[in-house]
């Protein structure tokens, strides 16, 4: 019988209202079960898990750094040399000493008036003469004053200065030159010059060649030849031969030959030996400092300019034929040539090595999206925590104490609310730009400013909830038991507000990320070389990039949209889970 009773007890059916059928769940477990039944909330969780994995694990897996610049080897038509036709005279003295600035200035002033007989001027207390030796080639002489020549109608007289003697032949030649208006003459194998003074008087002086003035430059092939090419006798003989169309000349006891005609690219040889110098009125210099241009190349450029060519070919030292083009820029000639060079691989199309291509700095877009996600998410969470921390403290104290404390704190909140958010952020960004704040420091300052500017909404929510909770029975009990005020607020009141704060914080994260993206897009947020999703989109702010390089800005925009949607889905799910009545 007892065995039958045991069997009957095991198979006993429990009533629907039997307490043994009720499975008691904790409030947290009930919220969790309601949350996981929400498909959008689960979708939001999946999106956020993907975003965190993409941002924080992707940067570890990626073989590139966020600031790594990629280069490519390409052939580009680049500036190689510049040339200018010389229009300023160069001066050379027998001893190599420079002429004074005053002499050179006076020479430039009077040279245009120098006819076949030359012209004279006074400078540095000395009489100087300018005499043309050939086209655009002048001898500058300096003289010693001998006396004065006076011409009054048919009466003419030559008077020697004290201590000076003037021969009859020189006097006769001087009077003849003065009456004919000549400024220089030769007598007894010596050159003399007449400088007009007051009335009809002239100063008579001897002339000794003191300098040469030329538009040509001499470039030596070997520094060992610089001394020979730089002598006064060489320059004088070489230019006289060149201007006279002669092919040979002698200087300092050596024989030289000239190859070429005109003013550009004439090569000078010593005898039949290799070239020692190039003579030209075209000055050729490399565009890049440190580049060496061979003399043969300079001669080729000068010849091309002299022949008014826009392109020429040059055989380099390796025997390769290079093609060069010449373009005018102002008064200068710019020489271009195809060169193999390293270029920043900007706006490269998606490939296996760069799945989303490269940006305007030649950096991998996918890698920068990963690192940019770290900053965007970090900014969102840190700002959210800072806003909630300040808001809970101010709202909790205001709601619990009420009275004048509540009034004072709420007016303080109103003061913050009256400050325009984006203008203040623009001012802060401009100040950081002016002080050149480092990029990493800028991130923390940006988070602090955003947190300080955005806590007022949390404070009002906390205050409103605590005002309704502080009169509840459990709060009366905490007061009766003598629990201190800080413990009543943060141990008993705030936890009852936390579900609402969690929902609000979750939904507010998306807004914070959007705000950071907006500031970075405006150039006020994260600065190069650091990346955020907003700063990546900022690199595509012109219409050309937006229409031709979609792979730079569309992925960043998609990531922002997905992240904001993920937080909003989770926030909606938490709101429905904490308060299922709101869904009805």
Q: State how many domains the chain has.
A: 3
pLDDT cut 70: percent of the chain above it:
92
Q: Are 174 and 238 contained in the same domain?
A: no
Lowest mean pLDDT among 17-21, 55-59, 414-418, 514-518: 17-21
CA–CA dist 533, 378 (Å, integer): 12
Start-end of H helices in 481-542: 485-487, 494-521, 533-538
Per-residue pLDDT, 170? 83
Q: Which of 165, 184, 213 is the last residue before a domain boundary?
A: 213
Rounded mean pLDDT of the chain?
83
Judged against a pLDDT cut of 80, whether residue 71 lies above it is answered with yes
Lowest mean pLDDT among 196-200, 407-411, 571-575: 196-200
Cβ 140 vs Cβ 108: under 8 Å: no
Q: Are 395 and 503 contained in the same domain?
A: yes
In a domain, 533, yes or no: yes
pLDDT digits (tens, 9 = 90+) for 374-430: 998 999 999 999 998 999 889 888 888 888 888 999 999 998 888 888 888 888 888
More confident residue, 23 or 267: 267
Judged against a pLDDT cut of 90, whether residue 13 lies above it is answered with no
Distant-in-sequence, close-in-space partners of 99: CB < 8 Å, separation ≥ 6: 91, 93, 107, 140, 211
In a domain, 5, yes or no: no
In a domain, 8, yes or no: no
More confident residue, 443 or 575: 443
Cα-Cα-Cα-Cα dihedral sign, residues 39, 45, 49, 54: positive
What residues make up the domain containing 275? 216-343
Lowest mean pLDDT among 254-268, 309-323, 341-355: 254-268
Cβ 216 vs Cβ 263: under 8 Å: yes
Q: Measure the CA dihedral 366/369/370/371, to 10°.
A: 120
pLDDT digits (tens, 9 = 90+) for 213-252: 998 888 888 878 888 888 888 998 988 888 888 888 888 8
Q: Which of 161, 188, 213 is the last residue before a domain boundary?
A: 213
Judged against a pLDDT cut of 80, whether residue 360 lies above it is answered with yes
Burial (0-12, 13-18, 19+ Cβ within 10 Å), 71: exposed
Q: Are 60 and 145 contained in the same domain?
A: no
Per-residue pLDDT, 23? 52
CA–CA dist 203, 275 (Å, integer): 47
Start-end of H helices in 19-100: 27-36, 39-52, 58-61
In DSSP notation, 337-357 reads EEEEEEEE-TTPPP-SSSTT-
In a domain, 18, yes or no: no
Per-residue pLDDT, 10? 52
- Per-residue pLDDT band at 26 (split at 50, 70, 90): low
CA-wise closest residue to 529 among 294, 324, 362, 390: 362
Q: Are 421 and 559 contained in the same domain?
A: yes
Per-residue pLDDT, 581? 54
CA–CA dist 400, 404 (Å, integer): 12
In a domain, 4, yes or no: no
CA-wise closest residue to 457 among 515, 518, 390, 381: 390
pLDDT digits (tens, 9 = 90+) for 137-183: 898 888 777 888 888 776 778 888 887 888 888 888 888 888 877 77
More confident residue, 156 or 437: 437
- Per-residue pLDDT band at 43 (split at 50, 70, 90): very high
Lowest mean pLDDT among 38-42, 112-116, 175-179, 342-346: 112-116
In a domain, 74, yes or no: no
Q: Are 205 and 244 contained in the same domain?
A: no
Q: Are 305 and 420 contained in the same domain?
A: no
Q: Which of 343, 363, 380 is the last residue before a domain boundary?
A: 343
Q: Classify residue 72 by its DSSP letter.
A: E
Work out the angle at residue 192's Cα, subtended by the Cα atoms of residues 186 and 194, and round it to the nearest 5 degrees: 120
Judged against a pLDDT cut of 50, whether residue 584 lies above it is answered with no
Q: Are 167 and 303 contained in the same domain?
A: no
Give the DSSP H/E element, type plus range, for residue 74.
strand 71-85
CA–CA dist 212, 231 (Å, integer): 11
pLDDT digits (tens, 9 = 90+) for 489-505: 777 777 778 778 888 88
Highest mean pLDDT among 3-7, 41-45, 189-193: 41-45
CA-wise closest residue to 47 among 562, 575, 560: 562
Cβ 89 vs Cβ 235: under 8 Å: no
Q: Are 386 and 311 contained in the same domain?
A: no
Judged against a pLDDT cut of 80, whether residue 27 lies above it is answered with no
Per-residue pLDDT, 429? 84
Q: Are 228 and 207 contained in the same domain?
A: no
CATH code of residue 537: 1.10.3720.10
User: Any bridge partners for residue 259, and if so which?
Assistant: 267
Distant-in-sequence, close-in-space partners of 523: CB < 8 Å, separation ≥ 6: 429, 538
pLDDT digits (tens, 9 = 90+) for 46-58: 999 999 999 999 9
Distant-in-sequence, close-in-space partners of 333: CB < 8 Å, separation ≥ 6: 82, 83, 84, 85, 282, 301, 305, 326, 327
Give the DSSP H/E element, type plus range, for residue 423.
helix 421-434
Q: Are 387 and 460 contained in the same domain?
A: yes
* Cα first-last separation, the chain: 55
Q: Are 236 and 204 contained in the same domain?
A: no
Q: Are 432 and 564 contained in the same domain?
A: yes
CA–CA dist 298, 78 (Å, integer): 17
In a domain, 471, yes or no: yes
Judged against a pLDDT cut of 60, whether residue 472 lies above it is answered with yes
In a domain, 538, yes or no: yes
CA–CA dist 325, 327 (Å, integer): 7
**Phi and psi for 260 in degrees, rounded to 5?**
115, 165
Give the DSSP H/E element, type plus range, for residue 411.
helix 403-417
């Amino acid at each position: 019988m007892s065995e039958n009773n045991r069997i009957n007890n095991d198979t006993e059916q429990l009533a629907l209202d039997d307490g043994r059928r009720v499975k008691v769940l904790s409030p947290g477990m009930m919220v969790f079960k309601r949350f996981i039944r929400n498909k959008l909330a689960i979708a939001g969780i999946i999106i956020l898990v993907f975003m965190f994995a993409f941002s924080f694990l992707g940067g570890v897996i990626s073989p590139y750094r966020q600031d790594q610049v990629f280069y490519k080897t390409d052939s580009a038509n680049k500036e190689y040399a510049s040339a200018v036709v010389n229009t300023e005279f160069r001066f050379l003295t027998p001893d190599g000493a420079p002429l004074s600035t005053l002499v050179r200035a006076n020479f430039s002033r009077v040279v245009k008036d120098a006819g076949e007989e030359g012209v004279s001027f006074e400078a540095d207390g000395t009489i100087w003469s300018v005499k043309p030796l050939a086209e655009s080639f002048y001898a500058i002489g300096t003289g010693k004053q001998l006396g004065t020549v006076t011409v009054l109608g048919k009466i003419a007289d030559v008077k020697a200065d004290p201590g000076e003697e003037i021969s009859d032949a020189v006097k006769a030649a001087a009077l003849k030159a003065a009456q004919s208006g000549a400024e220089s003459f030769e007598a007894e194998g010596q050159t003399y010059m007449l400088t007009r003074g007051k009335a009809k008087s002239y100063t008579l002086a001897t002339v000794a060649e003191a300098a040469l003035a030329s538009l040509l430059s001499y470039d030596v092939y070997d520094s060992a030849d610089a001394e020979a090419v730089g002598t006064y006798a060489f320059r004088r003989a070489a230019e006289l031969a060149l201007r006279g169309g002669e092919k040979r000349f002698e200087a300092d006891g050596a024989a030289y030959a000239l190859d070429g005609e005109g003013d550009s690219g004439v090569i000078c040889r010593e005898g039949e030996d290799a070239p020692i110098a190039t003579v030209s009125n075209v000055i050729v210099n490399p565009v890049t400092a440190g580049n060496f241009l061979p003399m043969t190349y300079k001669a080729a450029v000068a010849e091309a300019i002299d022949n008014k060519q826009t392109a020429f070919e040059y055989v380099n030292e390796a025997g390769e034929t290079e093609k060069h083009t010449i373009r005018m820029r102002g008064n200068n000639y710019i020489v271009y040539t195809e060169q193999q060079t390293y270029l920043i691989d900007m706006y490269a199309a998606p490939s296996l090595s760069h799945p989303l291509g490269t940006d305007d700095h030649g950096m991998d877009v996918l890698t920068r999206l990963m690192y940019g996600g770290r900053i965007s998410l970090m900014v969102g969470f840190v700002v959210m925590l800072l806003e909630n921390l300040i808001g809970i403290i101010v709202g909790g104290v205001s709601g619990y104490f009420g009275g004048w404390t509540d009034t004072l704190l709420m007016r303080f909140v109103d003061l913050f609310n009256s400050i325009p958010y984006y203008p203040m952020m623009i001012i802060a960004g401009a100040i950081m730009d002016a002080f050149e704040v480092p990029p990493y420091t800028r991130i923390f300052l940006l988070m602090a400013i955003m947190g300080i500017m955005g806590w007022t909404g949390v404070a009002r929510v906390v205050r409103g909830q605590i005002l309704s909770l502080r009169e509840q029975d459990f709060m009366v009990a905490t007061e009766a038991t003598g629990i201190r005020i800080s413990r009543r607020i943060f141990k008993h009141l705030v936890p009852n507000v936390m579900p609402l704060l969690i929902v609000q914080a979750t939904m507010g994260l998306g807004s914070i990320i959007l705000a950071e993206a907006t500031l970075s897009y405006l150039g006020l947020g994260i600065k190069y070389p650091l990346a955020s999703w907003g700063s990546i989109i900022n690199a595509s702010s012109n219409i050309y990039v937006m229409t031709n390089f979609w792979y730079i800005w569309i992925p960043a925009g998609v990531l922002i949209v997905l992240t904001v949607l993920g937080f909003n889905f989770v926030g909606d799910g938490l709101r429905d889970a904490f308060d299922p009545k709101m869904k009805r």
